[in-house]
Structure 1
Amino acid sequence: MVKVRDVCRHVRSKNAGPYWVTFDFFFDGPENFEKYHASPALSPELFARLYGTDPALVKHIPVADLNMVKISYPRATPQGGVEERDMHSGQQYVRVLDVELD
């Protein structure tokens, strides 16, 4: 099976304001973008399972001109709160690198 790390030249996670986290998946070309950007493996349910968010609130935004997809979800707690473990959400992407794509 192909993993995210195999078809994306860059994956990052970051804040999208104090209440949201966003992931950017930059595919390594238009072929892989077309083949995998809508993969069921990158479903709202994956983000719910990995990050404890409501799958109904996960946003999936393909950007074909850049061969990338942006996936955003609301944080469980606001940025900088008592339960904060990654203030800038810069390390959250690591969990998705080994997700197998269909």
Structure 2
Amino acid sequence: MTALAEVAGKIRSKNAGPFWLTVDIFCETEEAYTRVSNGLSTEAVATRFGIPEDSLRRFDIADLQVVKFSLPRPAIQGTPGDRDMHGASFANLLAGLEV
């Protein structure tokens, strides 16, 4: 197995409003996309984020060679408990997952 960061061209996370975060996994080749799409389980991603699997939304977009996950923010954006206002650090949590 290989780490996701070694297969994907780029892993990016960002704010998707005050209640949601989005993580995009961009693949540079069709082969990399297929490997990520087939090898990265929704269960593993939910476990890494510490959320129930049914809270995670997954989108496999073959035309763009992107796998996208949307998840509820741990704290509402801008509240005292929000440690990452832009959601930029969440991508790093997936980089080491095996695919």
Q: Specify the code of the residue in structure 1 equivalent to 2:56.
A: V
1:51 is displaced (CA, Å) by: 2.6
What does residue 54 of structure 1 align with?
Answer: 52
**2 CA distance for matches of 1:51 and 1:79?**
17
Preserved contact between residue 60 and residue 70 of structure 1 (Cα < 8 Å): yes
Q: Specify the code of the residue in structure 2 equivalent to 1:49.
A: T
- CA RMSD in angstroms comes to 1.5
Calculate the TM-score normalised by the size of structure 1. 0.86
What does residue 98 of structure 1 align with?
Answer: 96
Match runs of 1:8-19 below 5 Å: 8-19=8-19
What does residue 82 of structure 2 align with?
Answer: 84
**2 CA distance for matches of 1:47 and 1:8?**
15
Q: Give the structure with the higher percent strand.
A: 1
Q: Specify the code of the residue in structure 1 equivalent to 2:55.
A: L
Preserved contact between residue 21 and residue 72 of structure 1 (Cα < 8 Å): yes
Q: Are residues 1:3 and 2:3 paired?
A: yes
Preserved contact between residue 26 and residue 68 of structure 1 (Cα < 8 Å): yes
SS in 2 for 1:38: helix
Structure 2 gaps, min length 5: none
Structure 1 gaps, min length 5: none
Q: Specify the code of the residue in structure 1 equivalent to 2:51.
A: T
1:36 is displaced (CA, Å) by: 2.1
1:52 is displaced (CA, Å) by: 3.0
Q: Specify the code of the residue in structure 2 equivalent to 1:65.
A: D
Preserved contact between residue 8 and residue 36 of structure 2 (Cα < 8 Å): no
Match runs of 1:22-33 below 5 Å: 22-33=22-33
Report the number of matched residues. Answer: 99
Identical pairs, percent? 32
Calculate the TM-score normalised by the size of structure 2. 0.89
